[in-house]
Structure 1
Amino acid sequence: MNDHPWQWNEATWRGKVEAVRAGRSLKPETWPGGARCAVALSFDSDHETNELRDGATSVARLSWGEYGTRQGVPRIRKVLDRFGVKASFFVPAVAALLHPEEQASLAAEGHEIGLHGWIHERNTELPAEVERDLMLRSADTLEKITGQRPVGMRTPSWDYSAATLTIAREMGLLYDSSLFADYEPYEIIQNGEPTGIVELPVEWIRDDAPYFMMNRFGAQRPYTPPEAVLDIFRREFDGAYADGGLFLLTMHPHITGYRSRLFILEELLDHITAKGDCWIATHADIARYCATQAGLKG
């Protein structure tokens, strides 16, 4: 293969583009109970693995991850309990092994625990056989801790390798939530072939990390006031509500789980529940409903 992309022939660049694509829309004609739209709240419980995955051992940054489990998750759970809603928690297996009681109790309360890698690794840096081994071990670990085998995944940092989808198909996963091709659920296509896997699309706009992340030794600094983030999230929800579609939000316990930020989740849920006709459910329940309505596995 030629070294430079501008030297690639059409078969090469077209093959790269078509390896993983968005297929037919899986947005259902109606949501359960006549709801106007579906709402999927997710929390990526990375905890200490954000530091560990790079082979780093900064005590300060490990403690930031510890805040996510010590304060972030309990505060978030109180908000979810107050509104009586269930959410999806995507958890690296190492984080689950460090805090098994957290995952077991969340699952027992009806929240979903989904795949989020082994140690928040970057899939595109791994040989395919290593990525496969880590995904399988992660599923085994979460099942052992929670008693439930995960049915969906979110790749760490939304990093998708050339092997990721093939591994997900081998594992028989119901859904993925790592790709960006739409607002609405769709079926993933691999090399022109429908896979039967539901994609619940993500977007950096609907993620708390870009607005609040901080790196003391780099150029990354928080720059968005929490009130502005709430406004962005609320406008994204209002758009989904107007379309009768899906609103999916990604948050992190070690980022949103602070006194000055948790009001974002509280006021957003106030706004959503005030509509009176929104279905707030786990990613697994939404994916299963979309699959069933479309005649896919579910």
Structure 2
Amino acid sequence: MPPVPEHQRDLVGHGAEPPHAAWPGGARVAVSLVLNYEEGGERNVLEGDPASEGFLHELVGAPPVVGGRDLNAESMFAYGSRAGFWRVHRTLAAHGAPLTVYAVGQALERNPEAARAMGAAGWEVAGHGWRWIDYREVPEETERADVARTVATIERLVGRRPVGWYTGRTGPNTRRLVAEEGGFLYDSDDYADDLPFYTVAAGRPHLVVPYGLDTNDARFLLVHGFTTAGDMLAYLNDTFDTLHAEGADRPRMMSVGLHCRIIGRPGRIRALDGFLDHVAQRGGAWITTREQIARHWLTTHPPSRSR
């Protein structure tokens, strides 16, 4: 499908006849595991923010502390970098599963041991902003500098510059700034499809590798979301099985979103472990990084080619 012009909503996408993904090995589903590494980049008055972080921690619905610190919330984030990260690391190593990390630059700066472990494991480390904040109100020049600073930090600490980007709470300039930077293959700031697609950014075709918030452990910390590891495991398995069945004719992509401070808890890690067992038993999956998905798509379905 030709790229969609910049700033235009696309409610059609690939349509009724999506392209055949032609994943390696004839896989029916490309499975992308993503670990959001944010701990140490969240809102805090110590950083000059007006209030503490009020999003995605265990005290669901608790209002931020305005003008002061929330030591409880801070320690819940610290759990992710101190303990949760290493539990996820061990689980993925046991399965030999590849991973993409959405890494907040400041968070990596504050735990270089974790950054080195990501590089040593061969994980893809993508940019996730300099800080884990909402970029909708951030001035363009500040955001541009944050992109550059994040790139430099990942390259220095991990050993390789990022080729992917995901802000999450994007601003109106985010995609254009990522495209203008010139070193990225893709961004993932979109949830609109089961396959990669092209849009236009900075006046040229730009690849989007979409992400998912339903197949995401963040739902443990949302009202009416997951309660137990079994809830998440059942949902992930059901999603994979549906995509696996559809993939007999038209292969699909599945994203699994993880957070150190969420899935890294002892009572939740079984969801990740059990899902990887399920995928291995079913077969027909290409568990890979988002970089590899992007490189495959750029080669197999270049932007100049129509459906």
TM category (shorter chain) comes to 0.7 to 0.9
Equivalent residue runs for 1:1-298 within 5 Å? 18=8, 28-52=20-44, 54-55=49-50, 56=52, 57-155=69-167, 158-172=168-182, 173-190=184-201, 195-213=204-222, 224-243=227-246, 244-295=251-302
Q: CA deviation at 1:202?
A: 2.0
Give CA-to-partner distance per residue, 1:167-202, whole Å, 9 cap, x none: 0111121111121221211112349x6x43321212
**Residue 122 of structure 1: how far off its partner (Å):** 1.1
* Residues 15-69 of structure 1, C-alpha deviations (whole Å, 9 max, x = no match): 9961788866885431112222210000101113234374533222222111111
* SS of corresponding position for 2:210: coil
Percent same amino acid among aligned pairs? 28
- The CA RMSD over aligned residues, in Å, is 2.6
Asked if the contact 1:185/1:200 (under 8 Å) is kept, the reply is: yes
* Other structure's SS at 2:35 match: strand
Query: What is the identity, as a one-letter code, of the residue corresponding to 2:150?
Result: S
SS at match of 2:245: helix
What is residue 66 of structure 2 aligned with on the other side? none
Contact in 1 for aligned 2:21/2:252 (Cα 8 Å): no
- Classify the secondary structure of the residue corresponding to 1:188: strand
Shift of 1:273: 1.0
The runs of 5 or more residues in structure 1 that have no matched partner are: 1-14, 214-219
Secondary structure in structure 2 of the residue aligned to 1:114:
strand
Distance 1:48 1:20, change over 3 A: farther
| Separation in structure 2 between the aligned mates of residue 171 and residue 138 of structure 1, nearest angstrom | 12
**Distance in 2 of aligned mates of 1:277 and 1:212:** 31
Amino acid at match of 2:220: Y
- Code of the residue aligned with 2:135 in structure 1: it is N
Q: 1:221 and 1:182, CA in 2 relative to 1: closer, same or farther beyond 3 A?
A: closer
Equivalent pair of 1:23/1:189 in contact (CA under 8 Å):
no
Q: Deviations over 1:154-178 (max 9, x none)?
A: 11xx222221111011112111112
2-side partners of 1:124 and 1:22: how far apart? 26
Tell me by how many angstroms 1:294 deviates.
Answer: 1.4
CA 1:295–1:223: 2 relative to 1, 3 Å: closer
Secondary structure of the residue that 1:161 maps to in structure 2? coil
Q: How far apart are 1:223 and its partner, in Å?
A: 6.0
Partner of 2:38: helix, strand, or coil? Answer: coil
Question: TM-score if structure 2 supplies the norm length?
Answer: 0.81
Tell me which moved more, 160-169 or 236-245.
Answer: 236-245
Single out whichever of 261-270 and 16-25 deviates more from structure 2: 16-25
Q: Which has the higher helix share?
A: 1
Instruction: Report the residue type matching 1:285 in the other structure.
Output: Q
- 1:178–1:201 CA contact under 8 A, matched in 2: yes
Cα distance 1:31–1:222, how it changes in 2: closer, same or farther (>3 A)? closer
Amino acid at match of 1:110: G
In structure 2, C-alpha distance between the alignment counterparts of 1:104 and 1:20, rounded to whole Å: 40
**Paired positions, count:** 273
TM-score (norm 1): 0.83
Structure 2: give runs of 5+ residues left out of the alignment. Answer: 53-68
